Chains A and B, each alone.
Chain A
Amino acid sequence: MALINPDLCNGCKVCLMYCPLGVIRMEGDKAVIDQEQCVECFVCTRKAVCAKKAIFPGAITTKGRELRHFLSDPTETKSATGVPGRGTEESKTNDVTGRTKKGQLGICIDMGRPGVGVWMRDAEKVAMALARVGLNFEECSPLTAVLKDRRTGEIIDEVRNERLLSIIVEGTVPENDFPKVIAALRAVEGEIDTVFSLGVISRVDAAGNAPFLSQLAAIGLAPPLRGKVNVGLGRPLVDD
């Protein structure tokens, strides 16, 4: 875990501005890390943030802290969930995996993004809301790896009070169920103490149009401006 050696800290306060979640504070004339809030991203331990080398990456000794670190530090390669990576290949390799098929939508909810962080108990609220409308949780996903019950979206007790920079609630639904997903998200967004960014994955026609976009006006959503476009150059190509 990220730690500050008080004997080396000279109280310069420089490290405070490097913490993505702002959880380094001064206690007297020394900087301290709020360990309850820290997500172990280790940004403060890199790039010579501390000229006195007072900040250092100490040993991570619990499963909960491992989860925080793995899902918050993109340079960490040792998985803490049993599945590789912090997210999944989602749309990025869909041209060869066929993970999201025609007639389906991939739902990608980046809990805690942008830059607010997320308690797992809030990720659970969103997972449970989507389980109730039939989300088929993605198999190879860190969030799915800590679900106690995929039918309910409940997570295992050991990680409920862990905090991360982000974690993705991901799965698929039939395209026609998109309005139900949006209704569920509108209901749960007021119950969480964080933000999330919503991505929706769809197969598209040759012009880049997705059928589900025709549903947007009826459910009060503005057309998306940004997208991540898989341009179909992966081989062998899947077209189902």
Chain B
Amino acid sequence: MTHTLHRSGPIESLRGDYVWLMYQAKGINDTNIKPKAEEFIAAAEAVGSENWGDVKSGSILELGAENVKARISDKSRLRGIFTSRPQVVEFLRRIKARNVGLSVIISGLLDEVLPACVQAGVTPHTINYSFGVWGKKDLLPSEETLALTTMCGHHQIAPALVEFYRQRVREGRMKPESAARKLAAFCPCGIFNHVRAARLLRET
């Protein structure tokens, strides 16, 4: 599933938007996952991952970190966000040092992620490159809306809901941070970057 790859929006806003994923491969290294997941969570928390979750249970913004941790199992698949390159670098350093043995993926702008790999001392193995949207593009909502809806790659956030909250923010009836958290509640994976979302809502 490529639900973290095709995020859109102004390039500068994407500079504060990185997704991390922990992945086990079926039949290869998919046993005894719970302690390994706990290693990932410890590293993510140590560097301040602003949102993370397990699609099997939900995100920390929805459930709280302790509740997500309590539900970690050998079936868990963790993923989350960072908002700065130094977080990515330190996260990779920590995971490499722990030698957990699961696949680690960082999704984001290549001119940010690849230098982060160098700084962290990890070697990129494979990249899934985004070549954008094709087909009947007049069916898409506005670029401003897509910048928010594509942060839930499973598209559980409706364009009309984004418009509703944007209007509330414009009218001063809601803070951008509160509106961003409302939208984040619809992303079960924990990859919705509510920090970036608040900035986008404030600017548009």
Within the complex, which residue of A21, A43, A96, A204 is in contact with B29, where a contact is CB–CB below 8 Å? A96
12 contacts between A and B (CB under 8 A): A17-B164, A22-B160, A91-B128, A92-B23, A106-B128, A114-B149, A195-B134, A199-B129, A199-B130, A199-B131, A228-B128, A228-B130
Interface residue range, chain B:
35 or more
Contact assessment for A93 and B124 in the assembled complex, using a CB-CB cutoff below 8 Å = no
Q: A185–B133 Cα gap in the complex (Å)?
A: 11
Determine the distance from Cα of A165 to Cα of B3 in the docked complex, in whole angstroms.
12
B70: interface (CB < 8 Å): no
Residue pair B154, A74 in contact (C-beta under 8 Å): yes
* B193 within 8 Å of A (CB atoms): no
Given the contacts A87-B2, A165-B154, A230 and B124 also touching, CB distance less than 8 Å = yes
Contact of B136 among A47, A194, A228 (CB under 8 A): A194
Minimal Cβ-Cβ distance residue in B for A216: B131
The range of chain A's interface size is: 35 or more
B132 and A197 form a contact (CB under 8 A): yes
Question: Given A168-B1, A197-B2, A228-B5, are A204 and B125 also a contact pair (CB < 8 Å)?
Answer: yes
Contact B100 A233 (CB under 8 A): yes
A91 CB, min distance to chain B CBs, angstroms: 4
Residue from the list B95, B107, B124 in contact with A226, Cβ < 8 A = B107
A-facing residues in B40-85 (Cβ within 8 Å): 55-56
The answer to whether A233 and B95 have CB atoms under 8 Å apart is yes
Answer yes or no: A116 CB below 8 A from chain B CBs. yes
Answer whether A227 and B158 are a contact pair too, CB < 8 Å, given A185-B134, A198-B131. Answer: no
In the complex, the answer to whether A199 meets B128 with C-beta atoms within 8 Å is: yes
Least distance between B70 CB and chain A CB atoms (Å): 18
* Chain B residues near A (Cβ < 8 Å): 1-8, 11, 14, 21, 23-26, 28-29, 55-56, 92, 95-96, 99-111, 113-114, 117, 120, 122-137, 139-141, 146, 149-150, 153-161, 163-164, 185-186, 188-189
Interface residues of A (CB under 8 A from B): 16-22, 41, 43, 47, 74-75, 77, 84-97, 100, 106, 108, 110, 113-116, 165-166, 168, 185, 189, 192-204, 206-208, 210, 213, 221, 224-237
With a cutoff of 8 Å between Cβ atoms, the chain A residues found around residue B26 in the complex are 84, 89
Bound: A152/B125 CA distance, A: 32
Known: A110-B6, A114-B8, A197-B5. A234 touches B102 (CB 8 A): yes
Quick one: which of A17, A108, A236 contacts B128, CB cutoff 8 A? A108
Contact B189 A74 (CB under 8 A): yes
| B156 x A43 contact (CB < 8 A) | yes
